[in-house]
Amino acid sequence: MASVKELRLRIKSVGSIKQITRAMEMVATTKLRRFQDRAIASRPYAEEISTLVGNLAAVLGEDLDDQPLFRPGKGERTALLLVSSDRGLCGPYNSNLFRELESALRRTDDTSKIDFFVYGRKGYQYLTGSGRKIERFFVDPQLEKIDYRGAARVAVVLREAFEAGTYSNVRVLFTAFESMARFVPTWIDFLPIEPSSLGGDGDATEAGGSLASGDVILEPDAATIFARLVPRYLETRIYNALIEALTSEYASRRMSMKNATEAAGDMQSELKKIYNRKRQEGITKDLLDIVGGAEALR
C-alpha cells in the first residue's frame, strides 16, 4: 500500500489531469458549436444546388447517360477518400472508422486495386502503418481550417482523377453526425453519380416537371448549365462530408473528455478516502505511542 506522501502526490496529479481534460472538453464544446453552425449555414446552398441538379437531370432525361460523370469510369481501380482526424484524444472516432474500412476491404476481392486519398493525419498514419499505397494525402488546408474552397479543391482532385480514366468509381468514407452521441462511419458513392440519388423533395420534383415540359427558360441551354452545375454539386457533397466529419470528431472528443473528467473526479474522491483513512491511522498510532510512553514513565 502506498504511503501517505505518495497518496498526496497522486491526488494532486489526478487533479491536474482533471483540469486538463475539463479544459479540453470546453474547447471541444466551442469548436463543436462552430462546426455545427457552419453545417447549418451551408445547407441552403447545398439544397439549392442539388434541387437544380435534380430538376435539370429530369430535363435531360435519357441524355443523362451521355454525361461522363454519370457513367462508370474506364479504369479498373477504385479511388477512396478517407476522412479521419488530425489529432487523437477523440475516443473511438478513428478506430470505428478504421474498423468500418477494414470490414469493407475484407468484402472486396482485390484490395490492391484501391488507391487511397486521405484527409487527416490519423488516417494517413494508419494506412501507412498497414502498408497501403496512398495516392494523395491532403494537408493544405488543415482539416480543421477547411472552408468551402478547400473542400472544392479536394472535389476537383477526385473528379480529375476520375476523368483521367484510371478509376471506375470513387467512394468516400467519413463519419456522419447523427446526434450528439451517435456518429456513424458512412460511405458515399461519389462518382459516378447515381441519377436516383438526385432530386429533392416534392416541391422540387414539381418544379422539375414544369422544367421538363419546357415552360422554363434555360440560359444558355440545359446541357451547358448542367455541365457547370455538376462540379458544384460534387463540391457541396465533399464540403458537407468534411464538415460533418469534423462535427463528429469534436462531439466524440467532447464526450471522451467529459468521461475522462468524471473518471478523474471519481478517482480523486476514492483516493481521498484512502488518504484520510491512512492519515487517521497514523494519528491514532502516534497517540498510542505517546500514551504508551507516558504510561511507561510513570
- Residue of 14, 69, 114, 211 interacting with another protein (CB under 8 A): 211
At its nearest, how many Å lie between another protein and the CB of residue 265? 40
11 near another protein, judged by CB under 8 A:
no
By CB under 8 A, the residues from 163 to 202 that bind another protein are none
- Residue of 14, 56, 118, 260 interacting with another protein (CB under 8 A): 56
| Closer residue to another protein, CB minimum distance, 89 or 157 | 157
Sign of the Cα pseudo-torsion (64, 227, 151, 164, in order): positive
At its nearest, how many Å lie between another protein and the CB of residue 42? 5
238 near another protein, judged by CB under 8 A:
no
48 near another protein, judged by CB under 8 A:
yes
| Closer residue to another protein, CB minimum distance, 209 or 292 | 209
In which element (H, E) is residue 292 found?
helix 222-297
Query: Can you spell out the DSSP letters for 226-237?
Result: HHHHHHHHHHHH
77-83, strands of its sheet edge to edge? 134-138, 114-119, 77-83, 167-179, 182-191
Over its C-alpha atoms, the chain yields an Rg (Å, rounded) of 29
Rounded CA separation 254/263 (Å): 14
44 near another protein, judged by CB under 8 A:
yes
CB atoms within 10 A of CB 239: 24
- Residue of 104, 134, 152, 156 interacting with another protein (CB under 8 A): 152
- Residue of 5, 107, 145, 228 interacting with another protein (CB under 8 A): 228
Rounded CA separation 288/202 (Å): 86
Rounded CA separation 191/199 (Å): 16
Rounded CA separation 186/93 (Å): 12
Contact 52, 208 (CB under 8 A): no
210 near another protein, judged by CB under 8 A:
yes
Type of residue numbered 249: E
157 near another protein, judged by CB under 8 A:
no
Reduce the DSSP state of residue 260 to 3 states and report it.
helix
Cell numbers representing residue 137 in the block:
494525402
At its nearest, how many Å lie between another protein and the CB of residue 140? 18
156 near another protein, judged by CB under 8 A:
no
- Residue of 49, 57, 90, 230 interacting with another protein (CB under 8 A): 49
At its nearest, how many Å lie between another protein and the CB of residue 159? 16
At its nearest, how many Å lie between another protein and the CB of residue 220? 6
The contact set with another protein (CB under 8 A) reads 38, 41-42, 44-46, 48-49, 52, 55-56, 147-149, 152, 207, 210-211, 215-220, 224-225, 228-229, 232, 236, 239
